[in-house]
Amino acid sequence: MSVFSHFFSPADIISTVEFNHTGELLATGDKGGRVVIFQREPESKNEPYNQGEYNVYSTFQSHEPEFDYLKSLEIEEKINKIKWLPQQNAAHSLLSTNDKTIKLWKITERDKRPEGYNLKDEEGKLKDLSTVTSLQVPVLKPMDLMVEVTPRRIFANGHTYHVNSISVNSDCETYMSADDLRINLWHLAITDRSFNIVDIKPANMEDLTEVITASEFHPHHCNLFVYSSSKGSLRLCDMRASALCDKHSKLYEEPEDPSNRSFFSEIISSVSDVKFSHSGRYMLTRDYLTVKVWDLNMETKPVETYQVHDYLRSKLCSLYENDCIFDKFECAWNGSDSVIMTGAYNNFFRMFDRNTKRDVTLEASRESSKPRAILKPRRVCVGGKRRKDDISVDSLDFMKKILHTAWHPTENIIAIAATNNLYIFQDKVNSEMH
């Protein structure tokens, strides 16, 4: 596999990464409330090695920090999620959200400027009308490309708790936003109201034992969506069944393995991310130690389970103490749903081939990747025989976590967010993982 890496350094910690539907654009959100959009350079025969590189296209401040005076609490400007809308005209649109407010942004290009006005001169000052002797039609002259980003909608005051997910419906008219206890359905054109479709808040907050951790619309069926919980369950809901989807259509839950039971069992079973496959047939979930593939038709257990870093199972108490056990890792499918990817610690990320059952651990770091270098597989040794270049479990850096990863919708290009660095890796030789 031949890859090259190219990395950028936004000032702040990247909090979300998302390709658009064609893969031409890649958006990142950061802790400072900024969104940076990268655009893929069109391939050209003149510079074969530069084809397909991503360069900065636009940067804008999406959210600002706020202060909730009523609760005496800060509202972070950190961008939790970005979702692209399917492109319907020349403009691109995306939704970005922080803990409380979702915004719809429109991204347009301007590369022409009208010149030759009748009433204004070149600088824009009004002409003296007595000097105007004839009329002219203004013409469009080319100018340097300017990317303009404007906020088109602001969906505020919909959430009491922290928004963790947004998902655009396949109908391209509605989208949902989920916080810890509720899920709302919005129309993209209407900002002053939303429909509550899931509410798991108990009458008595003292009875609260479970929260919503992630949710997503089905890629093809606009009435179906799934949400995951902190107890490790998935609920598939059908909006045709009832207005309030508190009763799930299907509940996906794997019974606990009694031999592995500990005080941390529930915490590590909490699902941090759920993603439908492109086909819509499967769901991918990530919990603390594994990624699981679920068949929509089978509720009793996942069809595939992959160990991401099982060597951490004996370190759970320490990871609880330093809060790492609460890290929320995301997961991703490749375009053909044959490979799944997720991040881990020490700037490692893992890929699992569902067909060959082979897996690989790779590292995203400046030291180990130079432009056009081949990524070397890494190995974590748990004791016993140790090969050269192996990393021992005890020397893993738990502050270097890869929580956010994204896979190009059709090609083997991946975006990895490692703290405040963005890595983009491309597979040039083969389009299939081998």
The residues of the shown chain that bind other proteins, judged by CB under 8 A, are 69-76, 99, 160-162, 180-181, 204-211, 213, 230, 259-267, 270, 313-324, 326, 394, 396, 398
Exposed, middle or buried by CB within 10 Å (0-12, 13-18, 19+), for 232?
A: buried
CB of 186 to other proteins, least distance (A): 20
- Is 41 or 266 the residue whose CB approaches other proteins more closely? 266
Strand partners, 307: 290
DSSP H or E stretch at residue 266:
helix 265-269
- Is 164 or 426 the residue whose CB approaches other proteins more closely? 164
Residue indicated by tokens 């839950």: 253
CB of 286 to other proteins, least distance (A): 14
> 391-404 b/e with 16+ CB inside 10 Å = b?
bebeebeeebbbbb
User: Are 65 and 77 in contact, with CB atoms under 8 Å apart?
Assistant: yes
CB of 344 to other proteins, least distance (A): 14
CB of 380 to other proteins, least distance (A): 13
CB of 322 to other proteins, least distance (A): 5
- Say which amino acid occupies 192: D
- Is 11 or 205 the residue whose CB approaches other proteins more closely? 205
User: Are 1 and 434 in contact, with CB atoms under 8 Å apart?
Assistant: yes
Q: Which are the contacts of 298, defined by CB distance < 8 A and separation ≥ 6?
A: 252
- Is 47 or 74 the residue whose CB approaches other proteins more closely? 74
- Is 8 or 161 the residue whose CB approaches other proteins more closely? 161
Residue indicated by tokens 């050209």: 44
HSE (side-chain half, CA atoms, 13 Å) at 41: 14
- Is 52 or 232 the residue whose CB approaches other proteins more closely? 232
> Could you give the angle at the alpha carbon of 309 between the alpha carbons of 431 and 276, nearest 5°?
50
- Is 185 or 214 the residue whose CB approaches other proteins more closely? 214
* Closest alpha carbon to 330 in 404, 243, 423: 404
Coil vs helix vs strand at 237: strand
Q: Which are the contacts of 412, defined by CB distance < 8 A and separation ≥ 6?
A: 334, 426, 427, 430, 431, 432, 433
CB of 169 to other proteins, least distance (A): 25
CB of 155 to other proteins, least distance (A): 18
Structure tokens at 66: 């706020």
Show the beta-strand stretches assigned E in 243-307: 250-252, 273-276, 282-286, 290-295, 304-307
- Is 226 or 422 the residue whose CB approaches other proteins more closely? 226
- Is 66 or 432 the residue whose CB approaches other proteins more closely? 66
Give dist(CA 359, CA 352) in Å, integer: 4
CB of 210 to other proteins, least distance (A): 7
CB of 382 to other proteins, least distance (A): 11
